[in-house]
Structure 1
Amino acid sequence: MLDLKLLRTETEAARAALARRGDADGLDAVLSLDERRRALIPQVEGLKAEQNAAGQAIAAAKKAGEDATEALQAMNDVKARAKALQEELTEVEAQLQPALAKLPNLPDPTAAPQDTVLREVGEPRSPVAEPRDHLELAGAMIDMEAGARLSGSRFAYLKGDLVMLEMALVRWALEKVRGHGHEPVIPPVLVREEALFGTGFLPDTEQQIYHLPQDELYLVGTSEVALASLHAGEILDQASLPVRYAGFSPCFRREAGAAGRDTRGIFRVHQFDKVEMFCFVEPDASQAEHERLLAIEEEILTDLGIPYRVVNIAVDDLGASAAKKYDCEAWLPAQGQYRELTSCSNTTDYQARRLNIRLRPEGGKPQTLHTLNGTAVAVGRTLIAILENHQQEDGTVALPQCLVDAGAPPVLRATT
Structure 2
Amino acid sequence: MIDLKFVRENPAAVRDSQRSRGENPDLVDALLEADAQRRAAISAADQLRAEHKSHGKLIGRAAKEDRPAMLAQGAELSAKVKAAEVEETAAEAALDAAHRAIPNVVEDGVPAGGEDNFIVLETVGDIPDLGFEPKDHLTLGESLGLLDMERGAKVSGSRFYFLTGYGALLQLGLLQLAIQKAVANGFTPMIPPVLVRPEVMQGTGFLGAHADEIYHLEEDDLYLVGTSEVPLAGYHSGEILDLSNGPMRYAGWSSCFRREAGSYGKDTRGIIRVHQFDKVEMFIYARPEDAVAEHRRLLAWEREMLAAIEVPYRVIDVAAGDLGSSAARKFDCEAWVPTQQTYRELTSTSNCTTFQARRLGVRYRDENGKPQVAATLNGTLATTRWIVAILENHQQADGSVRVPQALVPFVGTDVLKPKG
TM bracket, shorter-chain basis: over 0.9
User: What's the offset of the Cα at 1:33?
Assistant: 1.2
Report which stretch shifted further, 25-34 or 295-304: 25-34
State the partner residue of 2:407: 403
State the partner residue of 2:157: 152
Tell me how far apart the structure 2 counterparts of residues 299 and 356 of structure 1 sit (CA, whole Å).
33
Give 2:280's match in structure 1, choosing from 257, 275, 278.
Answer: 275
Describe how 1:227-376 pairs up with structure 2 within 5 A: 227-376=232-381
State the partner residue of 2:97: 98
State the partner residue of 1:168: 173
SS at match of 1:154: coil
State the partner residue of 1:53: 54
- Does the 8 A contact of 2:329 with 2:351 survive in 1? yes
- Does the 8 A contact of 2:251 with 2:280 survive in 1? yes
SS at match of 1:66: helix
Tell me how far apart the structure 2 counterparts of residues 350 and 407 of structure 1 sit (CA, whole Å).
40
Tell me how far apart the structure 2 counterparts of residues 182 and 103 of structure 1 sit (CA, whole Å).
32
Q: 1:152 to 1:126 in 2, by over 3 A?
A: farther
State the partner residue of 1:72: 71
Tell me how far apart the structure 2 counterparts of residues 389 and 288 of structure 1 sit (CA, whole Å).
32
State the partner residue of 1:385: 389
Tell me how far apart the structure 1 counterparts of residues 256 and 417 of structure 2 sit (CA, whole Å).
28
Is it true that 1:137 corresponds to 2:140 in the alignment? yes
Report which stretch shifted further, 176-185 or 253-262: 176-185
State the partner residue of 2:6: 6
User: What's the offset of the Cα at 1:168?
Assistant: 1.3
Tell me how far apart the structure 2 counterparts of residues 265 and 150 of structure 1 sit (CA, whole Å).
16
Tell me how far apart the structure 2 counterparts of residues 392 and 334 of structure 1 sit (CA, whole Å).
14
Q: Considering only aligned residues, what root-mean-square deviation do their CA atoms show, in Å?
A: 1.3
Task: State the percentage of identical aligned residues.
Answer: 50
| Structure 2 unaligned spans of 5+ | none
Tell me how far apart the structure 1 counterparts of residues 257 and 124 of structure 2 sit (CA, whole Å).
30
User: What's the offset of the Cα at 1:65?
Assistant: 3.1
SS at match of 1:111: coil
Report which stretch shifted further, 251-260 or 132-141: 132-141
User: What's the offset of the Cα at 1:204?
Assistant: 3.0
- Does the 8 A contact of 2:175 with 2:383 survive in 1? no
Tell me how far apart the structure 2 counterparts of residues 409 and 217 of structure 1 sit (CA, whole Å).
41
- Does the 8 A contact of 2:166 with 2:411 survive in 1? no
User: What's the offset of the Cα at 1:342?
Assistant: 0.7
Tell me how far apart the structure 2 counterparts of residues 238 and 328 of structure 1 sit (CA, whole Å).
29
Q: What are the Cα deviations for residues 213-241 of structure 1, in whole angstroms up to 9, with x where unaligned?
A: 10110000000001111111111123143
TM-score of the pair, normalised by structure 1: 0.96
Tell me how far apart the structure 2 counterparts of residues 156 and 26 of structure 1 sit (CA, whole Å).
43
- Does the 8 A contact of 1:138 with 1:413 survive in 2? no
State the partner residue of 2:130: 127
State the partner residue of 1:16: 16
Tell me how far apart the structure 1 counterparts of residues 185 and 36 of structure 2 sit (CA, whole Å).
46
User: What's the offset of the Cα at 1:128?
Assistant: 4.0
- Does the 8 A contact of 2:204 with 2:356 survive in 1? yes
Tell me how far apart the structure 1 counterparts of residues 127 and 182 of structure 2 sit (CA, whole Å).
26
SS at match of 1:47: helix
SS at match of 1:77: helix
User: What's the offset of the Cα at 1:126?
Assistant: 3.8
User: What's the offset of the Cα at 1:394?
Assistant: 0.5
- Does the 8 A contact of 1:332 with 1:388 survive in 2? yes
SS at match of 2:364: strand
SS at match of 2:348: strand
SS at match of 1:127: coil
TM-score of the pair, normalised by structure 2: 0.95
Aligned length: 413
- Does the 8 A contact of 1:164 with 1:409 survive in 2? no
Q: What are the Cα deviations for residues 114-167 of structure 1, in whole angstroms up to 9, with x where unaligned?
A: 211111100113434111111121214311111111111000011111111111
Report which stretch shifted further, 18-27 or 173-182: 18-27
Tell me how far apart the structure 1 counterparts of residues 410 and 103 of structure 2 sit (CA, whole Å).
41
State the partner residue of 1:28: 29
Is it true that 1:412 corresponds to 2:411 in the alignment? no
Q: Residue type of the partner of 2:138?
A: L
